[in-house]
Structure 1
Amino acid sequence: MQVKPLGTRVLLKEVETQETTKSGIVLPSNAKEKPFVAEVVEVGPGEIKDGREIKMQVKKGDKVLYSKYAGTEIKLDSQKYLIVQQEDILAIVE
């Protein structure tokens, strides 16, 4: 199933990171705080609001930081995704 966000929404997939302690113990993703880093899967077309065109500043494949309580979690084909507004994206990670 393919999802195409509307307006200025962005479909994100969280980036799974494994963290290792100094003693070599690998921490599973559920034992630590969410990283709030994700990869952009799909981008909406943008929108016109109050007569101004709002262009999308992120593109498919970008890695981004997003707000802690942003978006709506969805599950498609056993994968977890997050749909957020463009303004909930804080930065592009290079």
Structure 2
Amino acid sequence: MKTQRKLIIVGDRVLIEPDERMETRAGLFLPPTVKEKDKVLGGRVIKVGPGYPVNDISVVLEEPWKQTNTEPIRYIPLQAQEGDYALFLKDAGIEIEFEEKKYLIVPHSAILALIRTTIVEDENDRGF
């Protein structure tokens, strides 16, 4: 019997694969102990949680304890997307290991900036 494991990120959290190597402008690679002093880290966003859960204000119940769980939970989506490069507060991340790879789970509020790469077509580039 074959099983498959799937990592599901919940709430307003983001799964980030941190940069392991640190290179100077001159091309020298610095050891990880140098990174320990930094307060901000960077890495690639691998998975994003559904977002911030919100109540459905259209449903007003007189007796909330009789509420049924038939309605799906609604979320405000997060700004981070898979593939973005995120700069985040190091102390807010929680390190995990999943399928022999190290990741950080970071709350969305700890992300300081996102770098998103998009392809822009040049009008002068006609593919010739």
Answer whether TM exceeds 0.5 for this pair. Answer: yes
The interval holding the TM-score normalised by the smaller chain is 0.7 to 0.9
Q: Which structure: larger Rg?
A: 2
TM-score scaled by structure 1?
Answer: 0.78
Q: What is the CA-CA distance between 1:51 and the residue it aligns to?
A: 6.5
Structure 2: runs of 5 or more not aligned: 58-74, 117-128
Q: What is the CA-CA distance between 1:15 and the residue it aligns to?
A: 1.9
1:1-94 alignment runs, 5 A limit: 1-20=5-24, 22=26, 25-28=28-31, 30-34=32-36, 36-49=41-54, 53-94=75-116
More strand by share: 1
SS at match of 1:87: helix
What amino acid does structure 2 have at the position aligned with 1:77? E
SS at match of 1:64: strand
Report how many residues are paired.
Answer: 92
Identity of aligned residues (%): 36
SS at match of 2:20: coil
Between 1 and 2, higher relative CO (CA 8 Å, sep ≥ 6) is seen in 1
TM-score scaled by structure 2?
Answer: 0.60
Structure 1: runs of 5 or more not aligned: none
Q: Deviations over 1:10-67 (max 9, x none)?
A: 1010023342575x65433x24215600100000111224669532101000001001
How far, CA to CA, are the matches of 1:44 and 1:21 in structure 2?
35
User: Do the aligned partners of 2:45 and 2:83 also contact (CA within 8 Å) in 1?
Assistant: yes
How far, CA to CA, are the matches of 1:69 and 1:63 in structure 2?
18
How far, CA to CA, are the matches of 1:42 and 1:71 in structure 2?
14
